[in-house]
Chains A and B, each alone.
Chain A
Amino acid sequence: MNLLTSMGALPLLGALLIALLPAANSKLIKQAAFAVSLLVAGVGFAAAFGFDKSVTEFQYVERFAWIPALGINYQLGVDGISLILILLSVILVPIVILAGWNESENGRFSVKTFYVLILILETMMIGVFAATDVFLFYVFFEAMLIPVYFLIGGYGSGERQAAAVKFLLYSLFGGLLMLASIIGLFVISGNQIGRTMDIEALSTLQIDATTQNFLFLGFFIAFAIKAPLWPMHTWLPDAAKSATPGTSVLLLGVLDKVGTFGMIRYCIELFPDASRTFTPLIIVLSVISILYGAFLAIGQKDIKGLIAFTSISHFGFITLGIFAMTSQGHSGATLYMLNHGFSTAALFLVAGWMISRRGSSTIAEFGGLQRVTPIMAWSFFIAGMSSLALPGLSSFVSEFLVLVGTYTRYPVAAVIATFGIILAALYILIPVQKALHGPTTPGNENLPDLNKREIAAIAPVIAVIIFLGFYPKPALDIINPAAIDTISRAGFSDPAPVVGGNK
């Protein structure tokens, strides 16, 4: 069986297995879920090692007729961009399971249901990145919402139901707009080349400008809600505040990447002309997102809300990199997706531990954790530094690439976006100072430091952050060919550097 299908089917089989285990034995269930996710991660690494970096076509391709009457195929394949995102997903799932060992205990539903949902979600995440048939992609895109909805609404805290519904309705609304565009594409393909949903075939269609603009918007709004881009972001802080830390990691780390991934794979590849038309608007929205997210992050009193708004700022950078339409911008944006996944995971996981120890998510309630719980404090510090893109940590490389890539085409936007970096220093350093340094807040003196399981969960994330900060080449080697290919196929070329001669 093909590698991608096996990777996608494994978690689903694991979910079935767990459903058959006795509900009372929650330890066994957790161990089984962890084992399954490790196995999937192993398959993911195998796929990464077997990936031929010199080829820009889709690899591990497989294709079966699914609904022949409609020309729809079950069709999978990965290029560098989707491979990186699949790797991110399969690495984060075991970490999330390990880190949030106990977060399924106080839910509305059973422990068993929690892990079944997580594993189903993993299948959907792999599928959504691996699908090369637009219909199949849409199926994963929409079906993915259901496990997340139950994960937020069933296991979260606070206004979890309202947050879950808001998340679902926003996403469904975007998804339905995208459905209209997909139907449009489908019909146009029928008139030109025979009905198909194959992404490569669809990118050869000749679509007139007006139609292309409307179809583009259908896709783009769906992805901008998902990513999320200002002003379609309002569901994210609520969802992130209510979900369990583990769910938040998957939500911000992976699911939101479907939005930015979709912009590259679908918006730009299918509608290059419309992308060109809308680029100025999207650049403006991205810059607003960067600054707006940063300003609101500074004002946050809730630690989860803080991380959510920093993500909105970071997604602004990613979209900026994508729509700068330069190969550096694209490489940077894709690398940013990976790095943001890890740094957000680190932030959310450590924040989750802090919150569960302190019983409060207000930043002001913490203080002087450095002295009481040094390992936890250092982990938070490194994650925070990665979030503000300190040189030597992974996010720096990607943020730099995005800004360089943007500057060559949109210097003004790049310069304004740079302010986002300064604000990032503020929104990270203020909570770091409040929560970690200074005198220990009364009541915090006896907080326990991270235990072995938690260290085992956070260590790989921090290792990746530091490793990719110093040596991003392995990731960039996979990403670059795909990024350059996307740009050139969409008909863009990098602006020639202006060489100033000596006088």
Chain B
Amino acid sequence: MIFNSPALEYGALAPLLVIFGAAVIAVIVEAFVSAKLRPALQLAISLGAVILSFAQVLRLRGTQSATAAVNSVVVDGPVLFMQGTILVLAFFAFLLLADTDAFAAQASAIPGSSEERTALQTGKIQTEIYPLTLFAVGGMMLFPAANDLITLFVALEVLSLPLYLMAGLSRRRRLLSQEAALKYFLLGAYSSAFFLFGAAFLYGYAGDVSLNAIRDAVSGGSNNEAFLLIGMISLSVGLLFKVGAAPFHSWTPDVYQGAPTPVTAFMAAATKVAAFGAMLRIFYVALGGAVWSWKPMLTAVAILTMVVGSVIAIAQRDVKRMLAYSSVAHAGFLLTGVLALSQEGLEASLFYLATYGFSTLGAFALVTLVRDSSGEVTDLNRWVGLAKRSPGVALLFTTFLLSFAGIPLTAGFIGKFTIFTAAYDSGNIAVVVAGVLSSAIAAFFYIRVIVMMFFTDAQDDTVSVTIPSLYTNLTIWIAAIATVVLGVFPTPVLDAIASLAVFVR
């Protein structure tokens, strides 16, 4: 028997290879470099890798259709756009990670134990967050590029496993953080099982794991439909869990709340891009022919997600939980883009993902600034009167909230407009009406936060806004500028997406 080594197109894989290579180096650095040098070095490696990888993405932008690594990875316009988006978001997420003392000194030390105290006092702080994030970024970049079910599953796990750990690394309120991590891990493992189950059925249906083969089998239509349906449903469960769609959203608030805020920011912004990227590819490329089988189901899920996210968010008293439910509602809006199943839907989804990512990053970055002596204050009741003490923070947070609410002149509005236009164009008017009505509900809780910050007097003076460091400041301002500029002059980005966004089939 002769084994031929597979031909790997290194050029096309370069963005991924850079990130994974840097992740491995970061692990070695973590093991061998002294604690004093580590933080700066790790940050340099991470940012360098992100920039290098981004340069590779730019280099590849002309090549609009290529497959690599024996057809298991595809490089096309949408993939490059999503990889670019993830990298930009990751860049700013690294700045946030570097800036705060949000992470446990020694994750392995039991909360409240003497080891923990010693580690804090001696300054022996582990920086494993950097390699973990790099691995997650790599997984996220691979997820929308995967061209067969096996690669898809590997990417899913590569992005998820570091995130499970990262969610548990909070320095303060460690038990809450660890609980969140465990919850995320258990539910995530469960959904991975569903995903694998679905993949197996689809393999049984098509006799192949590649997305193209599944598409051919669907259009051929001679195979066992039951396998297709079961496979499709199970696979969808796995994906819907990752994007946080109802009824698979219940992990979102707990994890968003428990995880260290910089991690939440990264997770909320970048995971959504990756997961929706994969979802778009699967439904557009592989299952597009079976649209009448999945459209009713996904329509119901989209409407449920929008309504559940918007309604439950009203009852939240914690800013991170509120943003979590708001992200659930946004997952619903994004699902309308998947449902449109058109070129327009794809373009609108890409734009929405990019703008939502920026606003989310900015909003969570601001959350890290509002503190009292024991750390971040996320209780909304203690945010009252914030505008009096720090009008800048309140105004910027208002900008992000208005963007989430989809008020004109913010990026969120253009995103909503384009994605609902795509949905309406595909004839799915019910989803548009549901989306508009849940936007009206959602506006209520965004406005309530604005009222609290601007129009209510503070009762408690222990809350203060820390002066942001250069890194956090940069992140917040870039996010705010992106939110406003993409709302007023979205043309360059829309044009760029339009010129890129054709899925390779």
Whether B425 and A190, one on each chain, are in contact in the complex, defined by CB atoms closer than 8 angstroms, is yes
Whether A180 and B436, one on each chain, are in contact in the complex, defined by CB atoms closer than 8 angstroms, is yes
The closest CB in chain B to the CB of A69 belongs to B494
Whether B436 and A179, one on each chain, are in contact in the complex, defined by CB atoms closer than 8 angstroms, is yes
1/0 per residue A170-189: CB within 8 Å of B?
00110011011001101100
Whether B491 and A69, one on each chain, are in contact in the complex, defined by CB atoms closer than 8 angstroms, is yes
Bound together, the chains give a CA A168 to CA B455 distance in angstroms of: 14
A67-B491 CB under 8 A given contacts A168-B447, A172-B443, A183-B417: yes
Bound together, the chains give a CA A183 to CA B406 distance in angstroms of: 14
Whether B444 and A169, one on each chain, are in contact in the complex, defined by CB atoms closer than 8 angstroms, is yes
Whether B447 and A184, one on each chain, are in contact in the complex, defined by CB atoms closer than 8 angstroms, is no
B115 at the interface (CB under 8 A from A): no
- Residues on B with beta carbons closer than 8 Å to the beta carbon of A180: 420, 432-433, 436
Bound together, the chains give a CA A143 to CA B402 distance in angstroms of: 10
How many residues on the B side are at the interface (Cβ–Cβ under 8 A)?
34
B495 at the interface (CB under 8 A from A): yes
A70-B418 CB under 8 A given contacts A108-B455, A165-B447: yes
Whether B424 and A184, one on each chain, are in contact in the complex, defined by CB atoms closer than 8 angstroms, is yes
Partner of B408, one of A68, A139, A186: A139
Whether B494 and A70, one on each chain, are in contact in the complex, defined by CB atoms closer than 8 angstroms, is yes
A150 at the interface (CB under 8 A from B): yes
The closest CB in chain B to the CB of A171 belongs to B443
Whether A153 and B407, one on each chain, are in contact in the complex, defined by CB atoms closer than 8 angstroms, is no
1/0 per residue B106-137: CB within 8 Å of A?
00000000000000000000000000000000
A400 at the interface (CB under 8 A from B): no
- Residues on B with beta carbons closer than 8 Å to the beta carbon of A67: 414, 490-491, 494
B437 at the interface (CB under 8 A from A): yes
Partner of A142, one of B407, B418, B432, B437: B407
B35 at the interface (CB under 8 A from A): no
Those of B414-452 within 8 Å (CB) of chain A: 414, 416-418, 420-421, 424-425, 429, 432-433, 436-437, 439-440, 443-444, 447-448, 451
Bound together, the chains give a CA A180 to CA B423 distance in angstroms of: 11
Whether A183 and B420, one on each chain, are in contact in the complex, defined by CB atoms closer than 8 angstroms, is yes
1/0 per residue B381-418: CB within 8 Å of A?
00000000000000000000010010111000110111
The closest CB in chain B to the CB of A181 belongs to B436
* Interface class of chain B by DSSP: helix
Query: Would you give the shortest CB distance from B415 to chain A, in whole angstroms?
Result: 12
- Residues on B with beta carbons closer than 8 Å to the beta carbon of A153: 451, 454-455
Those of A182-216 within 8 Å (CB) of chain B: 183-184, 186-187, 190
1/0 per residue A319-363: CB within 8 Å of B?
000000000000000000000000000000000000000000000
Whether A165 and B490, one on each chain, are in contact in the complex, defined by CB atoms closer than 8 angstroms, is no
B498 at the interface (CB under 8 A from A): yes
A146 at the interface (CB under 8 A from B): yes
Whether A161 and B451, one on each chain, are in contact in the complex, defined by CB atoms closer than 8 angstroms, is yes
Bound together, the chains give a CA A138 to CA B406 distance in angstroms of: 12
Partner of B409, one of A70, A139, A173: A139
Query: Would you give the shortest CB distance from B351 to chain A, in whole angstroms?
Result: 10
A228 at the interface (CB under 8 A from B): no
* Interface class of chain A by DSSP: helix
Bound together, the chains give a CA A173 to CA B420 distance in angstroms of: 16
Bound together, the chains give a CA A69 to CA B414 distance in angstroms of: 12
A169-B443 CB under 8 A given contacts A186-B421, A187-B421, A187-B425: yes
- Residues on A with beta carbons closer than 8 Å to the beta carbon of B439: 176
Those of A68-84 within 8 Å (CB) of chain B: 68-70
1/0 per residue A127-162: CB within 8 Å of B?
000000001001100110010001001100000110
A183-B491 CB under 8 A given contacts A161-B451, A161-B455: no
Query: Would you give the shortest CB distance from B449 to chain A, in whole angstroms?
Result: 12
Those of A58-108 within 8 Å (CB) of chain B: 66-70, 108
Bound together, the chains give a CA A389 to CA B12 distance in angstroms of: 77
How many residues on the A side are at the interface (Cβ–Cβ under 8 A)?
32
- Best-surrounded residue of A138, A154, A176 (most CB of chain B within 10 A): A176
Whether B424 and A154, one on each chain, are in contact in the complex, defined by CB atoms closer than 8 angstroms, is no
- Residues on B with beta carbons closer than 8 Å to the beta carbon of A184: 424, 429, 432
- Residues on A with beta carbons closer than 8 Å to the beta carbon of B454: 108, 150, 153-154
Whether B440 and A176, one on each chain, are in contact in the complex, defined by CB atoms closer than 8 angstroms, is yes
Bound together, the chains give a CA A150 to CA B402 distance in angstroms of: 14
Whether B436 and A177, one on each chain, are in contact in the complex, defined by CB atoms closer than 8 angstroms, is yes
A154-B455 CB under 8 A given contacts A70-B494, A139-B408, A184-B424: yes
- Residues on A with beta carbons closer than 8 Å to the beta carbon of B421: 70, 183, 186-187
Whether B494 and A146, one on each chain, are in contact in the complex, defined by CB atoms closer than 8 angstroms, is no
Whether B451 and A165, one on each chain, are in contact in the complex, defined by CB atoms closer than 8 angstroms, is yes
Query: Would you give the shortest CB distance from B93 to chain A, in whole angstroms?
Result: 29
- Best-surrounded residue of A108, A150, A180, A183 (most CB of chain B within 10 A): A183
- Residues on A with beta carbons closer than 8 Å to the beta carbon of B408: 138-139, 142-143
The closest CB in chain B to the CB of A182 belongs to B417
- Residues on A with beta carbons closer than 8 Å to the beta carbon of B440: 169, 172-173, 176
- Residues on A with beta carbons closer than 8 Å to the beta carbon of B456: 161
Bound together, the chains give a CA A165 to CA B448 distance in angstroms of: 8
- Residues on A with beta carbons closer than 8 Å to the beta carbon of B418: 70
A169-B447 CB under 8 A given contacts A69-B495, A143-B407: yes
A183-B455 CB under 8 A given contacts A67-B491, A69-B498: no
Those of A115-132 within 8 Å (CB) of chain B: none
- Residues on A with beta carbons closer than 8 Å to the beta carbon of B451: 153, 161, 164-165
Partner of B417, one of A108, A164, A165, A179: A179
Query: Would you give the shortest CB distance from A73 to chain B, in whole angstroms?
Result: 12
Query: Would you give the shortest CB distance from A302 to chain B, in whole angstroms?
Result: 22
- Residues on B with beta carbons closer than 8 Å to the beta carbon of A172: 405, 440, 443, 447
Whether B437 and A146, one on each chain, are in contact in the complex, defined by CB atoms closer than 8 angstroms, is no
- Best-surrounded residue of B413, B448, B454 (most CB of chain A within 10 A): B454
Bound together, the chains give a CA A353 to CA B45 distance in angstroms of: 67
- Residues on B with beta carbons closer than 8 Å to the beta carbon of A142: 407-408, 413
Query: Would you give the shortest CB distance from A202 to chain B, in whole angstroms?
Result: 15
The closest CB in chain A to the CB of B416 belongs to A179
Bound together, the chains give a CA A190 to CA B342 distance in angstroms of: 15
The closest CB in chain A to the CB of B398 belongs to A146
Query: Would you give the shortest CB distance from B443 to chain A, in whole angstroms?
Result: 5
Query: Would you give the shortest CB distance from A211 to chain B, in whole angstroms?
Result: 9
Query: Would you give the shortest CB distance from A154 to chain B, in whole angstroms?
Result: 7
Those of B181-239 within 8 Å (CB) of chain A: none
- Residues on B with beta carbons closer than 8 Å to the beta carbon of A108: 454-455
Query: Would you give the shortest CB distance from B452 to chain A, in whole angstroms?
Result: 10
- Residues on A with beta carbons closer than 8 Å to the beta carbon of B448: 165
Query: Would you give the shortest CB distance from A414 to chain B, in whole angstroms?
Result: 36
Query: Would you give the shortest CB distance from B281 to chain A, in whole angstroms?
Result: 23
Those of B63-81 within 8 Å (CB) of chain A: none
- Best-surrounded residue of A138, A146, A179 (most CB of chain B within 10 A): A179
Bound together, the chains give a CA A146 to CA B409 distance in angstroms of: 12
Query: Would you give the shortest CB distance from A71 to chain B, in whole angstroms?
Result: 11
The closest CB in chain A to the CB of B450 belongs to A149
Whether B491 and A68, one on each chain, are in contact in the complex, defined by CB atoms closer than 8 angstroms, is yes
- Residues on B with beta carbons closer than 8 Å to the beta carbon of A169: 440, 443-444, 447
Partner of B407, one of A68, A146, A160, A173: A146
- Residues on A with beta carbons closer than 8 Å to the beta carbon of B407: 142-143, 146
Query: Would you give the shortest CB distance from A147 to chain B, in whole angstroms?
Result: 12
By a beta-carbon cutoff of 8 Å, the part of chain B in contact with chain A is 402, 405, 407-409, 413-414, 416-418, 420-421, 424-425, 429, 432-433, 436-437, 439-440, 443-444, 447-448, 451, 454-456, 490-491, 494-495, 498
Contacts A69-B491, A70-B417, A135-B417 known; list 7 others, CB within 8 Å. A138-B408, A169-B443, A179-B416, A179-B417, A183-B421, A184-B424, A186-B424
List, sorted by A's number, 21 A–B pairs whose CB atoms are closer than 8 Å: A68-B495, A70-B417, A143-B409, A154-B455, A161-B451, A161-B455, A164-B451, A165-B448, A172-B405, A172-B443, A176-B439, A176-B440, A177-B436, A179-B420, A179-B436, A180-B436, A183-B420, A184-B429, A186-B421, A187-B425, A190-B425
Q: Give the 4 A-B CB pairs with smallest separation, nearest first.
A: A69-B494, A139-B408, A161-B455, A180-B436
